[in-house]
Amino acid sequence: MYTKIDEGCHLGLCGCSYVTDFDSHNYGTQWLENHKDSTMTNEDLWCNRFIGQASFRNFSFGGSSNYAIYQQIKKALEYNCDYILVFWSNTNRFNAFWKDGHPSVVPKSKNEQDYRKKYFSPYFQKFFSYLLVMDAARLLDLHSVKYKFFLWKGQGFPWPEAKDYPNTIIFHPAQLDESLHSNTSPNHLNEKGQAVVNEELNLHL
């Protein structure tokens, strides 16, 4: 199963691990070593099964927060992508801003627990993701770039307001049934799951 995209476009993908392939996945060499017997290759993954585009870049990164995905969008614009598909992540993922001013996903440590107790707010995280989506739409419109946003209710976005976001499609690979998942694929989906995503995208693109 392939997904037909606009002929001659410069396609960019942004998102978390559900949008990655073996090259963009960032769990490290140990993960790749543990799953070297996987029967899937990059060519089997839905994110590499688009046809029609003149060029393609995947900016997605495993574990990305919505702030990180927002930065991916800006990177896609730097590379002159003129059609960008954005798969937003769960609103509970957040970035801590330490003294050096550089954003980084909070490591699993005592510092994370301390940070959560002092600063974490589920309401703020949902609202922050809402602002990121709105500003991403503004930014893409400003650059006259065609785009689609993908999200679903289980990610914690304000609902039903999220359904009214610009160019939003209520679908995300993360919502697929457990029977379509696999722990030997960088994007968590088995062969059937890959086909389901491409089939779903064909309905919307």
Summarize pLDDT for 157-204 with one digit per residue, the tens.
877 777 777 899 999 999 999 999 998 888 999 999 999 999 999 999
What's the CA gap between 142 and 39, in Å, rounded? 43
Which candidate, 132, 143, 197, 142, places its Cα nearest to that of 165? Answer: 132
Distance between CA 164 and CA 159 in Å, rounded?
A: 9
pLDDT digits (tens, 9 = 90+) for 19-51: 999 887 666 566 666 666 777 888 999 999 999
- What tokens does 164 get? 């009214």
Strands 146-151 and 168-170: parallel
CB atoms within 10 A of CB 92: 14
Please report the sign of the dihedral spanned by the C-alpha atoms of residue 32, residue 38, residue 43, residue 49: negative
Apex 49 CA angle, 43 and 51, nearest 5: 130
* pTM (two decimals): 0.87
pLDDT in tens, 47-105: 999 999 999 999 999 889 999 999 999 999 999 999 999 999 988 887 665 555 555 55
Side-chain-side CA neighbours of residue 153 (13 Å): 2
